[in-house]
Amino acid sequence: MGERRDEFAEAGARARRALVREVEAAGELTDPAWRAAFAEVPRHLFVPYYYVPGTSGYERLWSGDPDPARRARWLRGAYEDTAIATRVRDGELVSSASQPSLMALMLRALDVRDGDDVLEIGAGTGYHAALLCHRLGEEHVTTVDLDEEIAESARTHLAAAGYRPAVVAVDGARGCPERAPYDRIVATCAVPSVPYAWLAQCAPGALVLAPLSTGLLLLRVEDGGRAEGRFLATSAYFVALRGAAARAPRHGPAGDERFRFFQGLVDPALDRSEALSLWLREGRPGRERFGVTVSGDRQWAWLDDPGGPYAWPLPDA
């Protein structure tokens, strides 16, 4: 067993260096602190097994496979710049590890500062929380998940890597008020709208980054629970937050994923023909032209200007 650990440690270090070079080349590791986190946190400890598409459903790869070739395949996959399916139930994806370059983009957008307290919604494997712990210190990190089994697994992985942040099994839509206030909230699961509980647990000036439709919404929280912000330009596809009603965007023209984002954002406020007509008339706008405002008990999405003519209510959170 000791020899196998050494095998994983040495090969994992090489694969990790290659992953860091790849993510760095994509321009997502400009901050030395985040580069160090990706270089030093061993991702393979957080995915001791995972699933890949096979000829009849999912195929399981794991670190304890007696076949050396399959063990090597597992380790290589752990450090590829792709999302990894980590939990499958009845043929349905329940949890996944996000693509590392997308993680790096999100962490850069989160703009954390020394001393910031961060709440992560969706513990997943624990790897994202480990990166936050490396950057901020474990005492500043709280991660939650609705599923007790997932939370316990993340806790175990984090401990194996030497980190012990607060890992709490609760409905992510409710946040974690006992450890509030937070300077940053980041969700690694898709939401149909912004849960008001998150904003109530934020310090003034806090940032909230959450997947909504097929984009990433970055909000700045003001006094009184008001928040406003725009979407990042990148696309983002996440497993839906369980415990909240999710909406799956319908397909748009010829697979245009920018229209899928738009329709997922405004559905059901507009039917498909109305949405398509508006989107074409406005020059096929990308994600960065859209934003969301939360004020009191209302929240709405908008195009270009929060007070402009194009605004659509989001569902109650």
| Helix ranges restricted to H, 171-287 | 196-200, 257-266, 272-281
306-310: list long-range contacts, CB under 8 Å, 24+ apart: 306/228, 310/278, 310/282
Residue 95 appears among annotated catalytic residues = yes
The active-site residue out of 63, 95, 153, 213 is 95
Three-state secondary-structure class, residue 166:
strand
Partners of 92 in beta bridges: 89
**Residue of 109, 115, 120 whose CA lies nearest to 135:** 115
Q: Which of 53, 46, 144 is nearest to 97 (CA)?
A: 46
Q: Give the separation between CA 23 and CA 300, rounded to whole angstroms.
A: 34
Residue given tokens 């946040």 in the structure block: 175
Q: How far apart are CA 167 and CA 217, in angstroms?
A: 24
Q: Catalytic amino acids?
A: 95
